[in-house]
Structure 1
Amino acid sequence: MAAQREKDAADYLEKHKILELFDNLTSMLFFYRPDNPRDFLVEQLKQLKLSQQTGVKGPNLFNNTNLDAVFGILDPANQKYITYAQYKQALTTLGIKDINECPEGVNEDKISRDTFKSEAIQGLQKCSAAYI
């Protein structure tokens, strides 16, 4: 009986992406360090609800500036590209699970900043949408 309740609880958490939601909210708290964490969390949840109702992109931890910084770290010599392995590792580190395995530039093993950012933004939006 207890095992079934635990399975039901785990299924519920997975179905509603609760753990992903809390991971994202916790990451946002650490990143932004708001003076009033409760108000900040309430605002983020309101934005998620609005996003669900309107289809407009919800709150996200990473913006263009953050993604530029990530790319810059991966490309310290300013070659204007990163390898596919770097691309894949960076997206995984950002919490993106459904990674495009064939992004533009994969055949040359040269993923551009624009491709990286586009794939990251799409992946992050899918992550946020998963728990809306």
Structure 2
Amino acid sequence: MATPREKEAADYLEKHKIIELFDNLTSMLFFHRPENPREFLIEKLEQLRSSKLRRVPGPSLFDSSNVDALFGILDPSNQGHITFAQYKEALMALGVRDIKEHPEGVNEDRISRETFEREATEGLQRCSTTYEQS
């Protein structure tokens, strides 16, 4: 059982999304492998601060071209839809953890490109918003 101080620390980390912040920064660092990691991290933190002030999504490892490419991989015959299982697995691969369990098309097991791209983009935006929401 957690002590009151451990609970307080866990609550602090959760409230300020510290774990998500470090996960996001570490992923970007490993992906981009910049020559000067400290400067890279400073730049990303400045982008995050700016995004918070402007109320726009923060820096993210993935963008719309990655989402589009992923859908294309899942739909090689270009049917325009994927299964719900593919939808969930793809969003998890992108790092989206809070997946909508009943997206448009789930009853037919046909998630359209538009639905997938919208849900992936919104999920990535939530992931990149690694600061406390006011």
* TM-score, scaled to structure 2: 0.87
Q: Distance in 1 between matches of 2:28 and 2:66?
A: 13
**Deviation digits for residues 2-49 of structure 1 (CA, Å, limit 9, x no counterpart):** 933322222211121111110011111122222211111111110110
Match of 1:40 in 2: 40
- How far apart are residue 92 of structure 1 and its match? 2.0
Aligned to 1:106: 106
Deviates more, 1:98-107 or 1:40-49: 98-107
- Native 8 Å contact 2:58 2:130 kept in 1: no
* Distance in 2 of aligned mates of 1:74 and 1:47: 32
The amino acid across from 1:8 in the alignment is E
* Identity %, equivalent residues: 66
Q: Secondary structure at the match of 1:98?
A: coil
Alignment of 1:5-84 (within 5 A): 5-84=5-84
Q: Aligned partners of 2:71, 2:16: CA distance in 1, in Å?
A: 32
Change in 2 beyond 3 A, CA 1:56/1:104: same
Moved more, 35-44 or 3-12: 3-12
Matched, 1:129 2:121: no
After superposing the two structures, state which structure 1 stretch, 20-29 or 103-112, moved more: 103-112
Distance 1:23 1:131 in 2: 13
> Relative contact order: is structure 1 or structure 2 higher (C-alpha 8 Å, sep ≥ 6)?
2
What residue number does 2:116 align with?
Answer: 116
Corresponding residue pairs, total: 131
TM-score, normalising length: structure 1: 0.88
Mapped pair 1:89 → 2:89 = yes
Q: Work out the CA distance in 2 between the residues paired with 1:75 and 1:32.
A: 28
SS of equivalent residue, structure 2 residue 3: helix
- The range that moved more, 93-102 or 49-58, is 93-102
